[in-house]
Chain A
Amino acid sequence: AQKVTQAQTEISVVEKEDVTLDCVYETRDTTYYLFWYKQPPSGELVFLIRRNSFDEQNEISGRYSWNFQKSTSSFNFTITASQVVDSAVYFCAFGASGGGADGLTFGKGTHLIIQP
Chain B
Amino acid sequence: KAGVTQTPRYLIKTRGQQVTLSCSPISGHRSVSWYQQTPGQGLQFLFEYFSETQRNKGNFPGRFSGRQFSNSRSEMNVSTLELGDSALYLCASSFSPPSVDYGYTFGSGTRLTVV
Contact = CB atoms under 8 A, between A and B. Distances in A.
Interface of A: 32-33, 35, 37, 42-47, 50, 91, 93, 95-109
Interface stretch (B11-19, B64-72, B74-82, B97-105): B97-105
Contact of B48 (A32, A42, A103, A105): A103
Contact of B100 (A42, A96, A109): A96
13 contacts: A33-B101, A35-B104, A42-B108, A43-B88, A47-B103, A47-B105, A91-B43, A98-B98, A99-B97, A100-B100, A104-B35, A104-B100, A106-B42
B111 interface: yes
Contacts of A93: 43
Contacts of A43: 88, 90, 108-109, 111
Contacts of A108: 42
Contacts of B88: 43
A97 B42 contact: no
A109 B104 CA distance: 18
A52 B15 CA distance: 43
B63 interface: no
Interface of B: prevailing SS: strand
B4 to A, nearest CB: 9
A93 B101 CA distance: 13
B106 A99 contact: no
Given A103-B33, A103-B35, A103-B48, A33 B108 contact: no
A41 B73 CA distance: 26
B82 to A, nearest CB: 22
Interface core residue of A91, A101, A109 (most chain B CB under 10 Å): A101
B46 to A, nearest CB: 8
A5 to B, nearest CB: 12
Given A42-B108, A44-B108, A102-B58, A33 B100 contact: yes
Interface core residue of B88, B90, B104, B108 (most chain A CB under 10 Å): B104
B55 A99 contact: yes
